[in-house]
Amino acid sequence: MEPGNLENLIEKVKTIAQGPHADLLEKFVDLLFEHEEPEYFSPEDLAAIEEGMQASLSGDRSQFISLEEYERKHGL
């Protein structure tokens, strides 16, 4: 990480943690901490995560389903 970027990252995390995506941030950070491997996500995983985040932030919900629909689909 470039010098000075850590402080910038911390400020961004603080801002997100106080906004409407705080729960998502917490879940994402928890997910990262659960992994013990040095490489958490493959390049394909990172591309899919980025695509999903961009779609969500732009309001495009076409690739998402509700928790209820997921549970119904998987018999939960």
Q: What pLDDT does 22 receive?
A: 92
Domains identified in the chain, total number: 2
For the purposes of burial, counting CB atoms within 10 Å of the CB of 56, is it exposed (0-12), middle (13-18) or buried (19 or more)? middle
Tell me: do 31 and 45 sit in the same domain.
no
Q: Which of 32-36, 43-47, 58-62, 69-73 has the lowest mean pLDDT?
A: 32-36
Tell me: do 29 and 12 sit in the same domain.
yes
Tell me: do 30 and 55 sit in the same domain.
no
Domain containing 2 equals 1-37
What integer is the mean pLDDT of 9-25? 93
Angle, vertex CA 12, rays to CA 10 and CA 14, nearest 5: 70
Listed in sequence order, the residues at least 6 apart from 9 whose beta carbon sits closer than 8 Å to its beta carbon are 1
The answer to whether residue 52 scores a pLDDT higher than 80 is yes
Q: In whole angstroms, give the CA distance from residue 36 to residue 34.
A: 6
The answer to whether residue 63 scores a pLDDT higher than 90 is no
Tell me: do 33 and 61 sit in the same domain.
no
Tell me: do 29 and 48 sit in the same domain.
no
